[in-house]
Structures are given as C-alpha cells and as structure tokens.
Amino acid sequence: MSERIEKLSIIISKGSLEGVYPGLIMANGARAEGIEVNLFFTFFGLDTIHKDRYDHIKVATVGNPGLHVATLVGGLPGMSAVMTHVLERKMDRLDIPPIPEFLEMIADTGAGLYACRASVDLFGLEKNDFIPQVRDVITVGEFYEIAAGGQIIFT
C-alpha cells in the first residue's frame, strides 16, 4: 500500500461560497480518516471565520464562468443571493451543513483553526472579530511551523 497521508494543512484564501466549501469538505473528510488537520484562513477567506460574515457567504455570480450565467445577468441586484439560496438548498438535501455548523463541527473534530496575521492587520481586524473556535492569529512563519511534516493544500 502507498504511504498514508498523516497530516494536512489547508489554506482557505477565498471568501465566496464556492471558494470556501471545498477546503472545509476536504478538512472534515481528512479528520474522518484520522488525518491531523489545520486550517489557515487568509485574505478574503477570513470571512469564513468572521462572526458577522460567516453566515452570509455568497456564490460569485460575476466572473464565474462555471456558473453558466451571463455576466450581465449575474450582475443584476440580488442575483448572488438567489443563486446562493438555490445552492444552499441543494447542499442541504445532500446533508452538507451550512458554514457556521460546518465550522463548529470541524473544530469539534480536533482540527485547528487559525487566522493569518498579515490579512488580519490588512483588514483592520482582531481576534475578537472571529468565532471562538479560532485558536489564534498567526504569522506565516508560525503557520509553517504548525504545518511541518505534513502536506499543504491551497484553496
């Protein structure tokens, strides 16, 4: 048998629904396989752990060719909210949890949640702005120390 993955660090850098879920699903799935996991949120990915924003993550309806919606139509007011609602209903049927519940669950699996120091400073945020499951705001160097000995996935 090929060598088993023992440890993962997943970086979430996007703040759109389609940018956030893949990393969360991979993190949760890895924990279910007994793999050690740390999640590192950077740039707009910080919205995923932001107390006031993590329940309002939306699908990008403009500049997202995979959605197969014309840019002009995607740019209409309310379009992103409607598409997000449609996708959330589909995910609920597949038993994929909403982001707040998913984050709580992932933290409960023992995965570490960390925020990127540079991005936190850039956006004028502080640790209090994040959900309590976030362990710390860390520098890139500290991230590499935490990630040592494992694989790193950037999303």
Partner 1 sequence: MATRTYDGTTVEVDSRGFFTDPAEWREAMAPAIAAEEGIPELTDRHWQVIKFMRHEYQDKGTGPTVRVLGRISGVGIKELYQLFPGGPAKVAARIAGIPKPQGCI
Residue 87 is a binding residue for partner 1 (CB under 8 A): no
Judged by beta carbon, residue 94 or residue 148, the one nearer partner 1 is: 94
Residue 106 CB, shortest distance to partner 1, in Å, is 9
Q: For the segment 45-84, give every residue that binds partner 1 (CB under 8 A).
A: none
How would you write 96-137 as a 3-class SS string?
A: CCCHHHHHHHHHHCCCEEEEEHHHHHHCCCCHHHECCCCCEE
Full DSSP string of 29-42: HHHHTT-EEEEEE-
Stretch touching partner 1 by CB under 8 A, among 12-20, 73-81, 105-113, 141-149 = 105-113
Stretch touching partner 1 by CB under 8 A, among 5-13, 40-48, 91-99, 125-133 = 91-99
CB 20, CB 48: distance < 8 Å: yes
